[in-house]
Amino acid sequence: MIPLSAWFFHRFNTKHTFISLLLIFLLGSACGFLASNFWLLLLGRLIQAIAAGAMIPLIQNVVLVLYPQEKRGFIMGIIGLVIAFGPALGPTVGGWIIDNLGLKWLFGILIPLTIILLVISLFNAKNVNKIDRTQRVDWLSVVESCLGFGALLYGFSDIGNMGTINFTNGFITIMGLVVLVFFCWRQLKLEKPLANLSVFRNYTFNLTTILSAISNIALLSVELVLPLYLQRVHDLSAFQAGLMLLPGANNKSDCWKTI
């Protein structure tokens, strides 16, 4: 969804887009809450991810329109602080919900919160962009992006789960890389690419992107592995494992204040 965010921003009314994404997120939450098996639960989480994946860049695009350049860093820092607030409290709150209410209430608690946000948005959200109906999207690039990144993520995930590289996950990973190469090549040839790769000609942008990727890999891997280790090896509850993550997550969210 992130590569399509710029097209959505110019093509559709921002208020209507935001409300539509909230409705999609609400649908995913309801699906997860009512799920009777793992696959329906996974479907609900996927629907949620589609909405959230488009919502964050939409908010960032709105900031670029509403605020002058000298204030954007501060506002982006505030947005980052809000986004980081979820991972800071999520493991602890989520662990308590799982231990006391059950897994489905991780989705159920989001339903009334999303409805409240929907009502507020209906009466207070405003459109901030100029709609350009002539904007077109290269759907082949969209397909290549989805297939390439999807195959790459699945391949790496399966390698991590299996603990080894076999024919299946190795083939899927290589195919994902090949598709992404074709995707990048197509973006360089298009007059209006889905992803403008020319930004990678900037040394500062490249350096900060690499550092950001490394830091995210380090932080997210710890947040994934540590709860599993604490619960399986030390026999802690989900809530106790969440409490162990709280100090580090709070420090991470505090870093956004310095932007």
Q: What pLDDT, in 10s, does the model give residues 120-132?
A: 998 888 888 777 6
pLDDT confidence bin for 62, thresholds 50/70/90:
confident
Residue 170 lies in a domain: yes
Average the pLDDT over 41-65 and give the result: 86
Same domain, 75 and 160: no
Same domain, 180 and 205: no
Cα gap 205→210, rounded to integer Å: 9
Same domain, 168 and 94: no
pLDDT confidence bin for 111, thresholds 50/70/90:
very high
Average the pLDDT over 55-70 and give the result: 82
Cα gap 82→77, rounded to integer Å: 9
Same domain, 216 and 116: yes
Cα gap 53→47, rounded to integer Å: 10
Which is nearest to 193 in space by CA: 144, 153, 121? Answer: 144
Same domain, 142 and 189: yes
Same domain, 22 and 144: no
**Domain that residue 226 falls in:** 2-126+200-258
In terms of phi and psi (left: phi > 0; alpha: psi -120 to 50; beta: otherwise), the region of 135 is beta
Which is nearest to 55 in space by CA: 92, 82, 90, 93? Answer: 82
Residues ≥6 apart with Cβ < 8 Å to 64: 72
Structure tokens that stand for 59 in this block: 């908010």
Same domain, 100 and 148: no
Same domain, 206 and 153: no
Last residue within a domain, chosen from 146, 170, 193? 193
Same domain, 121 and 167: no
Residue 211 lies in a domain: yes
How many folded domains does the chain comprise? 2
More confident residue, 24 or 15: 24
Same domain, 96 and 213: yes
3-state secondary structure at position 125:
coil
Q: Specify the DSSP class assigned to residue 232.
A: H
Residues ≥6 apart with Cβ < 8 Å to 212: none
Same domain, 88 and 150: no
Residue 33 confidence (pLDDT) above 70:
yes
Residue 57 lies in a domain: yes
Same domain, 180 and 204: no
In the numeric block, the tokens 């899927």 are attached to 172
Asked whether the whole model's pTM tops 0.95, one would answer no
H helix and E strand count, the chain: 10, 0
- Note the pLDDT of residue 3: 67
Residue 133 lies in a domain: no
pLDDT confidence bin for 255, thresholds 50/70/90:
low
Average the pLDDT over 86-102 and give the result: 82
Cα 143-203-183 angle, rounded to 5 deg: 15
Last residue within a domain, chosen from 163, 178, 193? 193
Residues ≥6 apart with Cβ < 8 Å to 198: none
In the numeric block, the tokens 């991810």 are attached to 49
